[in-house]
Amino acid sequence: MAEEVRLPLLGEKLPSFEAKTTKGVFKIPDDFKGKWLVIFSHPADFTPVCTTEFVAFQKRIEKFKELNAELIGLSIDQVFSHIKWVEWIKEKLGVEIEFPIIADDTGAIAKLLGMIHPGKGTNTVRAVFVVDPDGIVRLILYYPQEVGRNMDEILRVLKALQISDKYGVATPANWPENELVKDNVIIPPASDESTAKERLEKAAKGEFECFDWWFCHKKL
């Protein structure tokens, strides 16, 4: 019986692999230790939706770098196809793709990361893995082949993860434009009675705001 390969789970180490890319060979995630990684797959080179996505990622590459994050693309294509496609994008659209693209021509990496959907043939779906500087998978997004991604949302969740790690808080829906608390962050709920009482006392002093002891929020 063939060994089952499952999707990496949140909180697990990203499986290590060596990848041939348009920028050379990398050991992932080892060669990017200390940086956040945004690894994203696309169905195929020379396709319209994928082209719009690559342009959108490149247009925001400095914003990703400001968050100490590196972009890495992937599809089940050979490296010469990636190179030719990147040349086409630069020549026809005036955009130079600066991030590496993994040439997963055997499909081994896509299978390792669960990027191939059984109902969609042998192409990869539009998967996104956000990996932290310690190589831990922190977020996974999946889109069908027919729907392009929102890169601003990927930037948003990357920033939210970093703020959560740094300050020990959570971010609300649509943060930083939440309908209830605007750009405030959420203080984790109290886990005992004394802390619950203390929350309301601190709120009364103006240290932060609370709808109740279990729903408190504050400015960063």
> Are residues 208 and 120 part of one domain?
no
Residue where one domain finishes, among candidates 100, 122, 150: 150
> Are residues 216 and 117 part of one domain?
no
Residue-level pLDDT at 7 = 78
* Domain-embedded: residue 67: yes
> Are residues 106 and 21 part of one domain?
yes
Cis peptide before 29 (omega within 30 of 0): yes
Domain count, the chain: 2
In the structure encoding, which two tokens stand for residue 17, read together?
A: 């692999």
* Domain-embedded: residue 51: yes
* Domain-embedded: residue 86: yes
Q: Is the pLDDT of residue 146 over 80?
A: yes
Residue-level pLDDT at 153 = 97
Residue-level pLDDT at 98 = 98
Mean pLDDT in residue range 153-176: 97
In the structure encoding, which two tokens stand for residue 39, read together?
A: 């690894």
The question of whether 210 is a catalytic residue gets the answer: no
Share of the chain above pLDDT 70, in %: 94
In the structure encoding, which two tokens stand for residue 210, read together?
A: 């609370």
Provide the CATH number for the domain around residue 144. Answer: 3.40.30.10
CB distance 36 to 130 below 8 Å? yes
> Are residues 219 and 173 part of one domain?
yes
Residue-level pLDDT at 1 = 38
Closest CA to 123 of 47, 25, 23, 15: 47
Residue-level pLDDT at 5 = 58
Average pLDDT over the chain reads 93
Q: Is the pLDDT of residue 45 over 80?
A: yes
State the residue range of the domain holding 187. Answer: 168-220
Mean pLDDT in residue range 171-193: 95
Residue-level pLDDT at 2 = 42
> Are residues 133 and 42 part of one domain?
yes
| Residue 173 pLDDT class (50, 70, 90 cuts) | very high
> Are residues 127 and 188 part of one domain?
no
> Are residues 85 and 51 part of one domain?
yes
> Are residues 74 and 141 part of one domain?
yes
| Residue 212 pLDDT class (50, 70, 90 cuts) | very high
| Residue 115 pLDDT class (50, 70, 90 cuts) | confident
Provide the CATH number for the domain around residue 184. Answer: 3.30.1020.10
* Domain-embedded: residue 215: yes
Residue-level pLDDT at 66 = 98
Residue-level pLDDT at 182 = 96
Which of 38, 50, 116, 181 is the catalytic position?
Answer: 50
> Are residues 209 and 140 part of one domain?
no
> Are residues 132 and 23 part of one domain?
yes
Mean pLDDT in residue range 171-178: 97
